[in-house]
């Protein structure tokens, strides 16, 4: 902000300083000038008086002096007489030296005898005086020869004065008089100082008074400005907020939604808009009074805020209407999850001051960019959906488009069914063998893969329910069950002498981030009796990228237990090679998509090749999954792949079938045959 007092004080201080300096210089110059004029007049009168009294005696001598040899001049009687006359006339005055020149510029006389005979014909003062004018100047001398003695540090006024002949009024000779004005100059300096300091003091007092006034004015202006800003902020807040709940209001909603849509457009993510309308709020208001109604609205606002995600924005549009903007939606169904939570929390019993009431809410949802591409259409869509929810019997939500409704309902149903699946023993594990390529098809491991035997929908693969398990946190208990079941099964098969190999178990992100993973693995091994070297944990690449330091620490602990670690779906994430070096893992499982396309896509072939080189360079085992045909197998063998897994050898199998094939030795035979085929292919090539 512009600070008036600062600018004023600096500017006026500089101005005052300038005035004082100019004034003092001007005053002094003027005073010196008038001092010199005064002294010149005195010198002229003295010269004139001297000329009047004794000049007639000497004028002939002075006139003819040029004819006398300069060296003889000082010894002439006239000179001695002149010296005596001048001394007699000038004693007691401030005259310190007298010189007399004839018209030729010859120094005929000087009170300093050493200067007699000197030529002054070209001196400007002399020339001016010979032309009939007085010439004066003031000078400072450190050392000066005056009337037979030396004087020190003096200010002198020197005047060249013409002496006129009485006969024809022409110049007959030139006098030069030196007067000592040191005392006068000192006096003048003192008065200058007094005058200037007097003026300076007056100006400074004026300056102080004016500055004080300006500072005060400045403060008044500033405080008025602050008040204006505060009241503007207040007005703005009032304009954008609802006074009852403190939530942002309709005006704010439109602005924010517009911004969110623009962001969504940039990031490519969906934005959800939710319209909330309380069911039968009017009845509460009419029967219990407005105070109770207001209290209820506040309770609802708090509850909705509490269950919304951190990034969701809640608004009160007026009356019993609220809206929520949901940004960064991964799946449109996520909006339905929020709606469900809102419905559940709003419908809880609300305790007001004197009453207990239950109120429900109907919600409409529209999604950018699926349902509409601008604020107006999106709002209209959410509003229409809200009316559908009301028609559907209230206390529910409806989406603008039907498919979202269907998917959301499916998801909710699965979600609630998953809650009981573990208890109802609906999960099973299928096992898929891994074969050794250098070992000519020997079974060297198996992967445990989760399946859900759904009572209605039949056997479901993990991609249909794994994200729900992860989102709801159920993966922790289900994951532990998988680990325990796989270890127990492997131990049992080993006890029966059916195999002597590792079992691998997939670990998902929430399990890995859960602090108890290490102790669970430890306990499960102890409980099932399986040796640590027979357990392999498959960690996906993405899981290791976030919080790498911590991931390395957890992996170190797992390695200490003695289990195998592999990176699953390697190449699909973005792990830095820098870190890869520091992960204490044993195997890389190259992502199946590379295997799938490597025979048709040069790039995928090159990546597969590069990953194989990388694994060898880092001394890691290389596993290929999703191997479906002999050509892929040939390629992988050629690149030094250690283990392979895929439909070529076996699909993932239920326990009984896997066990049957183990007993019959068929798994082994299939794998060996497949490898024999590749050997043939290689031979043919």
Q: How far is the CB of 625 from Mg ion (least distance, A)?
A: 5
594-633 residues near ligand C2E, rule: CB under 6 A: 625-628
How far is 33 from 73, CA to CA, in rounded Å?
37
To which H or E segment does residue 568 belong? strand 564-570
Q: Of 182 and 542, which CB lies nearer to ligand C2E in the complex structure?
A: 542
Options 218, 327, 417, 568; binder of Mg ion; rule CB under 5 A: 568
Q: Of 270 and 432, which CB lies nearer to ligand C2E in the complex structure?
A: 432
Angle between helices 4-64 and 77-90 (to 10 degrees): 140
Q: Does 323 bind Mg ion (CB under 5 A)?
A: no
Q: How far is the CB of 592 from ligand C2E (least distance, A)?
A: 6
Q: How far is the CB of 538 from Mg ion (least distance, A)?
A: 4
How far is 240 from 45, CA to CA, in rounded Å?
96
How far is 676 from 208, CA to CA, in rounded Å?
107
Among ligand C2E, Mg ion, none, the one that 479 touches (CB under a kind-dependent 5 to 8 A) is ligand C2E
Options 277, 279, 568, 604; binder of ligand C2E; rule CB under 6 A: 568
Options 569, 604, 642, 643; binder of Mg ion; rule CB under 5 A: 569
How many CA atoms does the CB half-sphere of 319 hold within 13 Å? 9
Per the CB < 8 A criterion, the answer to whether 27 and 195 are in contact is yes
576-595 residues near ligand C2E, rule: CB under 6 A: 592
Q: Of 180 and 538, which CB lies nearer to ligand C2E in the complex structure?
A: 538
**Site size for Mg ion (CB under 5 A):** 4
Q: Which stretch binds Mg ion (CB under 5 A): 387-395, 407-415, 534-542, 640-648?
A: 534-542
**Site size for ligand C2E (CB under 6 A):** 24
645-664 residues near ligand C2E, rule: CB under 6 A: 645-647, 652
Q: Which stretch binds Mg ion (CB under 5 A): 163-171, 276-284, 380-388, 566-574?
A: 566-574
Q: Does 506 bind Mg ion (CB under 5 A)?
A: yes
Among Mg ion, ligand C2E, none, the one that 313 touches (CB under a kind-dependent 5 to 8 A) is none
Please state the separation of Cα 563 from the chain's center in Å: 45
| Contacts within 8 Å (CB) and 24+ apart, 672-678 | 672/440, 672/441, 673/441, 674/435, 674/441, 674/630, 674/633, 674/648, 674/649, 675/435, 675/437, 675/440, 675/441, 675/633, 676/441, 677/630, 677/633, 678/630, 678/633, 678/634, 678/637
Sheet of 360-368: strands edge to edge? 313-318, 321-329, 270-279, 360-368, 397-399
Q: Does 479 bind ligand C2E (CB under 6 A)?
A: yes
Among Mg ion, ligand C2E, none, the one that 98 touches (CB under a kind-dependent 5 to 8 A) is none
How far is 363 from 392, CA to CA, in rounded Å?
11
Options 538, 541, 604, 643; binder of Mg ion; rule CB under 5 A: 538
> Phi and psi of 299, rounded to 5°?
-60, -45
Tokens representing 81?
A: 């007489």
Per the CB < 8 A criterion, the answer to whether 447 and 538 are in contact is yes
The residue number with the shortest CB distance to ligand C2E is: 646
Q: How far is the CB of 627 from ligand C2E (least distance, A)?
A: 6
Q: Does 566 bind Mg ion (CB under 5 A)?
A: no
Q: Which stretch binds ligand C2E (CB under 6 A): 20-28, 70-78, 167-175, 502-510?
A: 502-510
My answer on whether omega of the bond before 116 falls inside 30° of 0, hence cis, is no
Closest CA to 460 of 518, 417, 497: 417
Interface contacts to ligand C2E, rule CB under 6 A = 432, 449-450, 461-463, 466, 479, 482, 506-508, 538, 568-569, 592, 625-628, 645-647, 652
């Amino acid at each position: 902000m512009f600070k008036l007092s600062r600018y004023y004080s600096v500017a006026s201080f500089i101005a005052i300083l300038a005035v004082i300096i100019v004034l003092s210089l001007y005053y002094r110059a003027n005073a010196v000038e008038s001092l010199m004029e005064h002294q010149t007049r005195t010198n002229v009168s003295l010269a004139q008086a001297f000329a009047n009294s004794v000049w007639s005696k000497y004028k002939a001598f002075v006139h003819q002096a040029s004819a006398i040899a300069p060296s003889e001049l000082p010894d002439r009687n006239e000179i001695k007489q002149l010296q005596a006359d001048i001394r007699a006339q000038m004693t007691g005055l401030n005259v310190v030296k007298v010189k007399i020149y004839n018209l030729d510029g010859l120094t005929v006389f000087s009170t300093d005898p050493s200067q007699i005979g000197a030529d002054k014909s070209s001196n400007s003062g002399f020339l001016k005086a010979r032309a009939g004018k007085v010439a004066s100047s003031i000078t400072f001398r450190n050392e000066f020869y005056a009337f037979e003695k030396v004087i020190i540090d003096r200010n002198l006024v020197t005047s060249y004065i013409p002496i006129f002949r009485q006969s024809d009024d022409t110049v007959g000779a030139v006098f030069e008089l030196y007067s000592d004005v040191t005392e006068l100059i000192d006096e003048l300096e003192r008065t200058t100082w007094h005058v200037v300091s007097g003026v300076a003091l007056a100006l400074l007092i004026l300056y102080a008074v004016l500055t004080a006034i300006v500072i005060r004015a400045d403060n008044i202006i500033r405080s008025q400005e602050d008040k204006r800003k505060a009241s503007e902020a207040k007005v703005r807040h009032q304009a954008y907020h609802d006074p009852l709940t403190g939530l942002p209001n309709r005006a704010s909603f439109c602005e924010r939604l517009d911004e969110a849509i623009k962001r969504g457009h940039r990031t490519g993510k969906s934005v959800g808009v939710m319209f909330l309308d309380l069911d039968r709020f009017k009845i509460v208001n009419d029967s219990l009074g407005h105070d109770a109604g207001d209290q209820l609205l506040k309770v609802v606002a708090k509850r909705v805020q509490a269950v919304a995600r951190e990034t969701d924005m809640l608004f009160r549009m007026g009356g019993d209407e609220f809206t929520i903007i949901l940004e960064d939606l991964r799946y449109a169904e996520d909006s339905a999850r929020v709606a469900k939570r809102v419905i559940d929390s709003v419908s809880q019993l609300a305790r007001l001051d004197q009453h207990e009431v239950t109120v429900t809410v109907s919600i409409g949802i529209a999604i950018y960019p699926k349902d509409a591409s601008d604020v107006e259409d999106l709002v209209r869509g959410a509003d229409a959906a809200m009316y559908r929810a009301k028609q559907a019997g209230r206390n529910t939500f409806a989406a603008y488009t039907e498919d979202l409704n269907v998917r959301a309902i499916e998801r909710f149903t699965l979600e609630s069914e998953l809650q009981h699946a573990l208890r109802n023993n609906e999960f099973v594990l299928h096992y898929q063998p891994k074969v050794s390529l250098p070992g000519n098809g020997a079974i060297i491991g198996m992967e445990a893969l989760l399946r859900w035997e759904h009572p209605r929908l039949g056997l479901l693969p993990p991609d249909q329910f794994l994200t729900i398990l992860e989102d709801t946190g159920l993966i922790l208990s289900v994951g532990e069950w998988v680990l325990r079941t796989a270890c127990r099964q492997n131990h049992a098969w080993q006890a029966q002498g059916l195999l002597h190999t590792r079992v691998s178990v997939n670990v998902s992100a929430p399990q890995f981030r859960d602090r108890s993973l290490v102790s669970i693995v430890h306990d499960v091994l102890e409980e099932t009796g399986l040796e640590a070297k027979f357990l392999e944990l498959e960690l996906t690449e993405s899981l290791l990228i976030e919080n790498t330091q911590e991931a390395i620490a957890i992996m170190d602990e797992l390695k200490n237990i003695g289990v195998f670690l592999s990176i699953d779906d390697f190449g699909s994430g973005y792990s830095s090679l820098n870190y890869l070096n520091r992960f204490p893992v044993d195997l890389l499982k190259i992502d199946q998509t590379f295997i799938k396309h490597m025979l048709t896509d040069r790039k995928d072939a090159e990546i597969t090749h590069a990953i194989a080189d990388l694994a060898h360079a880092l001394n890691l085992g290389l596993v290929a999954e999703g191997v479906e045909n002999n050509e892929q197998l040939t390629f992988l063998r050629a690149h030094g792949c250690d283990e392979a897994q895929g439909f070529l050898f076996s699909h993932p199998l239920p326990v009984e079938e896997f066990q049957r094939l183990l007993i019959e030795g068929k798994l082994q035979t299939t794998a060996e045959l497949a490898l024999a085929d590749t050997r043939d292919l290689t031979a043919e090539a």
